């Protein structure tokens, strides 16, 4: 009975997500110049990393061995992998509840049988992921490996043949990332102060750490030992570091990949269970207190 | 010879789910419903003081199938809190609520399938969508396939005069037009539901008089059916008088009266209204002590262009009127017009609430 209901709820949530996605897309599609501008902007964003990377063309760090000590190739690959996590709107834990849960729609949600958490956490995120992330991956792939690689002669020295394994692994880590975001968002529900100032400062702090230790920009060897330990708590770090290991032509890298995979699996379970439980409790709490909508300070 | 003959034929079916006995005749039942909210104050040094505010205090009443119940009370009396609990936005802190036999504490998911809300203050339309898309969104949220109502949208839109703008984005709508979309969605949802608990909280906010009339008539004549109950919270007593079978008067989170419109009128004993327009003798108003006798409960006077308009609430106009007129004539007043009528329902409700507050003090 419960399973049937859950499946039915999920189906309605997906349907609603499709509706939002279709309507949003139809609105965005009218702004055709905007699509071109987004594309150009994406290239310019990469270009800034290109210039930074170009300053350090030859750096002696163990992680860069796969890239012939070429930091530019390292940062370009990191940027490509990071797109999987960034484009789907996963990096906005503080905005998640402000926008979706504490808006006036929350009261409307509460009076309908559709579970707002199911819609937001699963259906809407998956559709965002499929819709926007895949588009971004294609754009980035073309720009990085096509334009930069071909015309600027960057030697990536990675196993492109591993792409069919890397992409599913990144998606797997991205789901863990969704749950990590859920856990971070739950803090917002449990802290009146955070809701009042309308800013999830804790999530902001962790995001800054995540940015440093994710392996997207800095090879982890250059980090202090203390910060290196943080690479084990962020799903994005498992994704980027693990994917780099899969891309690596060295056989020993594959062995080093498995601990990252296990860490991602543990995070998926722990963050998922704890996050959903705490969000449920948090929503129950704000409803009980009647503080569903806290006027921002 | 008969082709077919049936005698004492009977057939029984098993009922899969039976409603609990005590709620059988009630479509909606509230028992000792209590709700607290947090009140808060902030100081400049960053401390927050939290206090508990009783929004609803042991509220109990029931609604029979097909009944329309009006909620009346001052701002902050607990009307919206009650409707929010019934809509499933907030849980109650204590007490029980049953709707269609389902307990709110354990079966809220089921209850939400029957709730049809029209909250005029709830601006919960998606601005990027068109009006039609918002209606579709509302249907999907309530697990109703939009194809079930797609044929009815245009007709209803014409009836409430929004057809021309239905495919325009809501961001370009006025406040009243956004409420119209919510009203449309609720009416369509109501039509496809087999049974429903209709919750209306200030539904007429922002609506023009034509749509107000349409909605009022719709609620009054077209919405009533057996598996239906409606709660209407409004500050317009004339709406309650026109639409509702019963009125629940709430003050400070407690029910102070629950009865039909006629019975509430009787509760406020013999309250009648006398309006007299007169020219005062020597341009001096009548002495105030004159209005503290002979069953006069309240008096107000307004000087306007040499006349004085006197507005009195009295126990019994037949007794007071003859005496008052003779007193006024004795003092030399020139009476130019005189009207008596039964007290407005608004005055009845105000007197019930004021009477309760005085008793409380």
Tally helices (H) and strands (E) across chain B: 10, 14
Q: Is the pLDDT score of A100 beyond 70?
A: no
**DSSP at B66:** T
- At A28-55, the pLDDT tens digits run 777 777 777 877 777 777 777 777 777 7
**DSSP at B344:** P
CA distance B79 to B56: 9
Q: Is the pLDDT score of A295 beyond 60?
A: no
Residue among A15, A20, A29, A113 with most chain B CBs within 10 A, to mutate: A113
- Which of A293, A116, A107, A289 shows the shortest CA–CA distance to B86? A107
Q: Is the pLDDT score of B123 beyond 50?
A: yes
Look at residue A29 in the predicted model and tell me its pLDDT.
72
CA distance A88 to chain B (A): 20
Look at residue A97 in the predicted model and tell me its pLDDT.
58
CA distance A178 to A156: 30
| ipTM of the modeled complex | 0.71
Three-state DSSP state, A140: helix
- At B13-70, the pLDDT tens digits run 655 544 444 445 578 889 999 998 877 777 888 777 878 888 899 999 988 888 889 9
Q: Regarding predicted confidence, which is higher, B121 or B133? A: B133
Can you spell out the DSSP letters for B213-265?
Answer: HHHHHIIIIIS--TTEEEEEE-S-HHHHHHH-SEEEEEETTEEEEEE-HHHHH
Instruction: Closest CB to A107: pick one of B89, B133, B143.
Output: B89
Q: Regarding predicted confidence, which is higher, A96 or B160? A: B160
Q: Regarding predicted confidence, which is higher, B92 or B48? A: B92
Which position has the token pair 């809300």?
A: B117
B/e letters for A128-152, b = 16+ CB within 10 Å, e = fewer, are bbebbbbebbebbeebbbeebeeee
Look at residue A121 in the predicted model and tell me its pLDDT.
66
Q: Is the pLDDT score of A231 beyond 60?
A: yes
| Polymer length in residues for chain B | 361
Look at residue A262 in the predicted model and tell me its pLDDT.
96
Contact A112 B123 (CB under 8 A): no
Contact A114 B141 (CB under 8 A): yes
Contact B128 A27 (CB under 8 A): yes
Residue among B84, B143, B175 with most chain A CBs within 10 A, to mutate: B143
Look at residue B21 in the predicted model and tell me its pLDDT.
44
Q: Is the pLDDT score of A259 beyond 90?
A: yes
Reduced 3-state DSSP string for A191-248: CHHHHHHCCCHHHHHHHHHHHHHCCCCCCHHHCCHHHHHHHHCCHHHHHHHHHHHHHC
Average pLDDT, chain B: 82
Contact A287 B122 (CB under 8 A): no
Look at residue A214 in the predicted model and tell me its pLDDT.
85
Q: Regarding predicted confidence, which is higher, A243 or B123? A: A243
Q: Is the pLDDT score of B314 beyond 50?
A: yes
CA distance B84 to B90: 6
Residue B197 belongs to what H/E stretch?
A: strand B196-201
Q: Is the pLDDT score of B361 beyond 70?
A: no
% pLDDT > 70, chain B: 92
Look at residue B22 in the predicted model and tell me its pLDDT.
46
Q: With contact defined as beta carbons under 8 Å apart, do A217 and A239 qualify?
A: no
- Which of B356, B342, B199 shows the shortest CA–CA distance to B261? B342
Which residues in chain B touch residue A2, judged by CB atoms under 8 angstroms apart?
none
pTM, two decimals, is: 0.74
Contact B89 A291 (CB under 8 A): no
Residue among A106, A112, A192 with most chain B CBs within 10 A, to mutate: A112
- Chain A: residues touching B (Cβ < 8 Å): 5, 8, 12, 15-16, 19-20, 23-24, 27, 104-105, 107-114, 192, 284, 287-292
Nearest CA in chain B to A8: B143
CA distance A101 to A114: 13
Q: Is the pLDDT score of A296 beyond 50?
A: no
Q: With contact defined as beta carbons under 8 Å apart, do B115 and B196 qualify?
A: yes
CA distance A119 to A121: 6
Average pLDDT over residues A277-283: 86
Instruction: Closest CB to B123: pick one of A27, A104, A113.
Output: A104
- Chain B: residues touching A (Cβ < 8 Å): 35, 37-38, 48, 55, 81, 84, 87-91, 93, 109, 112-113, 115, 117, 119, 122-124, 126, 128-129, 133, 136-138, 140-143, 199
Instruction: Closest CB to B91: pick one of A20, A287, A291.
Output: A287
Q: Is the pLDDT score of B155 beyond 50?
A: yes
Q: Regarding predicted confidence, which is higher, B48 or A173? A: A173
Residues paired with B259 in a beta bridge: B247
Contact A111 B87 (CB under 8 A): yes
Q: Regarding predicted confidence, which is higher, A209 or B285? A: A209
Instruction: Closest CB to B113: pick one of A16, A113, A192.
Output: A113
Residue among B117, B140, B181, B200 with most chain A CBs within 10 A, to mutate: B140
Contact A19 B133 (CB under 8 A): yes
The two tokens of residue B334 are 């020139």
Q: Is the pLDDT score of B309 beyond 90?
A: no
At A65, the pLDDT band (50, 70, 90 cuts) reads confident
Instruction: Closest CB to B38: pick one of A19, A105, A290.
Output: A290
The two tokens of residue B310 are 């006197």
Contact B90 A284 (CB under 8 A): no
Residue among B39, B84, B89 with most chain A CBs within 10 A, to mutate: B89
Look at residue A108 in the predicted model and tell me its pLDDT.
77
Lowest mean pLDDT among A145-149, B154-158, B246-250, B313-317: A145-149
Average pLDDT over residues B140-166: 89
Look at residue B248 in the predicted model and tell me its pLDDT.
93
Look at residue A261 in the predicted model and tell me its pLDDT.
95
Contact B93 A192 (CB under 8 A): no
Look at residue A91 in the predicted model and tell me its pLDDT.
44
Look at residue A205 in the predicted model and tell me its pLDDT.
85
Contact B90 A287 (CB under 8 A): yes
- Which of A197, A2, A215 shows the shortest CA–CA distance to A115? A2
Q: Are strands B296-304 and B115-119 parallel, antiparallel or unpaired?
A: unpaired
């Amino acid at each position: 009975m419960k399973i049937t209901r859950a499946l039915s709820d999920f189906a309605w949530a997906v349907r609603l997500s499709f509706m939002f996605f279709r309507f949003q897309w139809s609105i965005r599609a009218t702004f055709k110049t905007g699509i071109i501008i987004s594309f150009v902007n994406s290239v310019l964003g990469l270009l800034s990393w290109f210039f930074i990377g170009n300053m350090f063309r030859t750096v002696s760090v163990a992680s860069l061995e796969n890239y012939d000590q070429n930091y530019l190739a390292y940062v370009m690959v990191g940027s490509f992998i990071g797109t999987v996590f960034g484009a789907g709107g996963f990096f906005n834990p503080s905005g998640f509840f402000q926008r979706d849960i504490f808006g006036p729609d929350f009261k409307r949600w509460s009076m309908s049988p559709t579970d707002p958490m199911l819609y937001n956490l699963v259906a809407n995120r998956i559709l965002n992921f499929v819709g926007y992330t895949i588009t971004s991956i294609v754009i980035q792939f073309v720009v990085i490996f096509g334009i930069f690689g071909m015309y600027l002669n960057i030697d990536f020295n990675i196993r492109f043949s591993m792409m069919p394994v890397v992409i599913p692994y990144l998606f797997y880590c991205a789901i863990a990332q969704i749950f990590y975001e859920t856990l971070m968002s739950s803090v917002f529900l449990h802290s009146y102060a955070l809701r009042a100032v309308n800013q999830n400062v804790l999530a902001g702090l962790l995001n800054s750490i995540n940015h440093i230790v994710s392996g997207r920009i800095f090879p982890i060897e250059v980090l202090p030992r203390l910060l290196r330990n943080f690479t084990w708590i962020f799903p994005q770090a498992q994704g980027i570091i693990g994917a780099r290991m899969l891309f690596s032509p060295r056989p020993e890298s594959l062995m080093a990949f498995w601990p990252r995979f296990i860490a991602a699996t543990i995070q998926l379970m722990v963050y998922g269970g704890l996050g959903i439980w705490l969000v449920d409790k948090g929503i129950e709490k704000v409803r009980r207190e009647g503080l569903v909508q806290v006027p921002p300070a | 010879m008969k082709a077919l003959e049936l005698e004492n034929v009977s057939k029984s079916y098993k009922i899969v789910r039976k409603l609990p006995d005590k709620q059988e005749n009630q479509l909606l039942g509230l028992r000792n419903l209590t709700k607290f909210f947090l009140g808060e104050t902030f100081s400049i040094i960053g401390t927050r003081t939290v206090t508990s505010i009783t929004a609803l205090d042991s509220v109990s009443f029931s609604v029979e199938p097909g009944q329309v119940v009006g909620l009346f009370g001052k701002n902050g009396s607990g009307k919206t809190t009650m409707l929010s609990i019934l809509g499933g936005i907030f849980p109650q802190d204590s007490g029980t609520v049953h709707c269609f036999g389902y307990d709110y504490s354990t079966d809220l998911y089921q209850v939400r399938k029957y709730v049809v809300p029209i909250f005029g203050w709830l601006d919960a339309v998606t601005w990027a969508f068109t009006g039609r898309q918002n209606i579709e969104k509302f249907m999907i949220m309530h697990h109703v396939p939009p194809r079930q109502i797609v044929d009815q949208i245009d007709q209803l839109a014409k009836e409430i005069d929004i057809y021309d703008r239905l495919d325009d984005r809501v961001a370009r709508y006025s406040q009243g037009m956004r409420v119209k979309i919510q009203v449309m969605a609720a009416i369509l949802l109501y039509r496809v539901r087999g049974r429903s608990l209709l919750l209306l909280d200030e539904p007429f906010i922002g609506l023009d008089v034509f749509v107000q009339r349409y909605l009022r008539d719709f609620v009054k004549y077209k919405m009533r059916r057996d598996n239906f109950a409606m709660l209407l919270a409004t500050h317009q007593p004339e709406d309650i008088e026109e639409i509702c079978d019963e009125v629940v008067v709430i003050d400070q989170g407690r029910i102070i009266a629950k009865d039909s419109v006629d019975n509430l009128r009787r509760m406020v004993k013999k309250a009648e209204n006398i309006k007299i327009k007169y020219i005062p003798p020597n341009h001096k108003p009548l002495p105030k002590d004159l209005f503290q006798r002979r069953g006069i409960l309240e008096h107000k006077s307004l000087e306007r262009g040499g006349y004085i308009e006197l507005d009195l609430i009295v126990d019994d106009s037949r007794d007071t009127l003859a005496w008052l007129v003779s007193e006024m004539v004795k003092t030399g007043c020139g009476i130019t017009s005189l009207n008596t009528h039964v007290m407005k329902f608004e005055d009845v409700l105000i007197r019930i609430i004021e009477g309760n507050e005085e008793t409380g003090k």
